[in-house]
Amino acid sequence: MTAPIELSHWINGERRDAGGGQVESLNPSDTREVVALAPSGGAAEVDEAVAAASAAFDGWANASPEVRSDVLDRAGTLLMERREVVGRLLSREEGKTLVEGVGETARAARILKYFAGEALRLHGQNLASTRPGVEVQTYRQPVGVYGLITPWNFPIAIPAWKAAPALAFGNTVVMKPASYTPATAEALVAILHEAGLPKGVLNLVIGGGRVGQAIVDHKDVAGVSFTGSQGVGAGVAAGAVARQARVQLEMGGKNPLIVLDDADLERAVAIALDGSFFATGQRCTASSRLIVQEGIHDRLVAALAEKVKALRVGHALDPQTQVGPAVSEDQRETSYRYMELAAFEGGQLVAGGERLTRDTPGWYVQPTLIADTDPAMRINTEEVFGPVASTIRVKDYEAALEVANGGEFGLSAGIVTQSLKHARDFQRRAKAGMTMVNLATAGVDYHVPFGGTKKSSYGAREQGFAAADFFTQTKTSYSAS
């Protein structure tokens, strides 16, 4: 086994020794292995990081956008060159298969390069005033220090898609990575500094909930971007709004995939399998509710069940593995708890549901399909965040849409159909921030807006050109000739 990585905070451009106790980051595929030893920061480290970010703000905000662009571009190049190494670290720490880990790392590199370009494309407007001889211009300007609280399920892509626009547009950052995946986040921060990021512009404070709370409550943090659960997100919003800081929340989904009778069965099965089970179901855009018209329901369940049973679950670094372990024991147990609850409430376990053992001790979850559930069951109203999907039998398209639009979440929604009429209607009427036609609900591009409706999201959209809305403020300037 590889020796644990000794992690540090990054404050004012320097690694800060952990001091005090350290927290073990375990390998979900083999819990005997300690991937990293992480410091446990608190309010004192956050205070230092915010002070460093505040001191660095004027210099970074007033630098040429080309300076910011060059740093992000170099960081993207370095990360792409090291994607195999960093991706392997990600897979060891989070549990994604090696293919998924390397792929996510490459995505993060592309995000950095995309926002390197956006740093040069930030624009305003020139408008004629209603008054003769007066001109009006609008500018986008950086806001200040941003606190970024990032999750474990995309431990390098999400830190990249939050940090890159913040930095590209001239803001400074204090980041708190997820406790399960600190080594992956630190690898990203180290590469950004290697690429030439000035001291204090990007700071990393590793630790638990008290670090996040200190960021949310800090008077000098101008905005907070958070990805995580609804419960924690509500607290983040309340704390930020109480002191009039900007806030952006992404809080998961219970995403529906409608399959109509006219769907190509083989294609529908492939789409459901991809969206529901890969990445161990630990995607906020995963297809957890399969809403299937009655004419195709039984055939879809039978075909999908065979595919689910054949999925190879194992060590993330094994090239034969298709589904890696859950990130933690808690996540594993949550999946099995919901399986048991669904069966108790009347759902039919048609694939999976059994405990798994492998050659190495890990948090393995058997991919599970539960058929003939009711929309009101907890398996269909609460986010499981594991490789578990349920089917709901419906009479027709209108019934399917009604079920799909139910509940508190509204992140991503999909439909599989050959009907242009139903596809177009679904795009208009689905209560979700993103819709997918003949595609899995999971799988989005980095250059377009990301976000949901209802309790899935709050505040401005993330990613792509929409990121400027959260990470800049508009100034309107009048001048007379």
382 is a catalytic site residue: no
Token pair, residue 229, equals: 């659960």
- Beta strands 348-351 and 246-250 are unpaired
* Set 186, 250, 382, 462: catalytic member: 250
Contact indicator for 93, 27 with CB cutoff of 8 Å: yes
Other beta carbons less than 10 A from residue 125's beta carbon: 10
Say if CB 112 and CB 160 are below 8 A apart: yes
Look at phi and psi of residue 251 and say left if phi exceeds 0, alpha if psi is from -120 to 50, else beta: alpha
Give yes or no for a contact between 124 and 37, defined as CB atoms under 8 angstroms apart: no
Instruction: Determine the Cα–Cα distance for residues 339 and 128; give it in Å rounded to an integer.
Output: 62
Strands across the sheet containing 30-39 = 5-6, 30-39, 22-27
Active-site residue, from 118, 284, 382, 462: 284
Dihedral through CA 280, CA 229, CA 224, CA 235, nearest 10?
-170
Using an 8 Å Cβ cutoff, are 149 and 226 in contact?
Answer: yes
Residue 368 neighbours by CB distance under 10 Å: 27
The first and second tokens of residue 309, run together, are 């049973």
Query: Residue 287 and residue 391: Cα distance in Å, rounded?
Result: 10
294 annotated active-site? no
Q: What is the set of active-site residues?
A: 250, 284
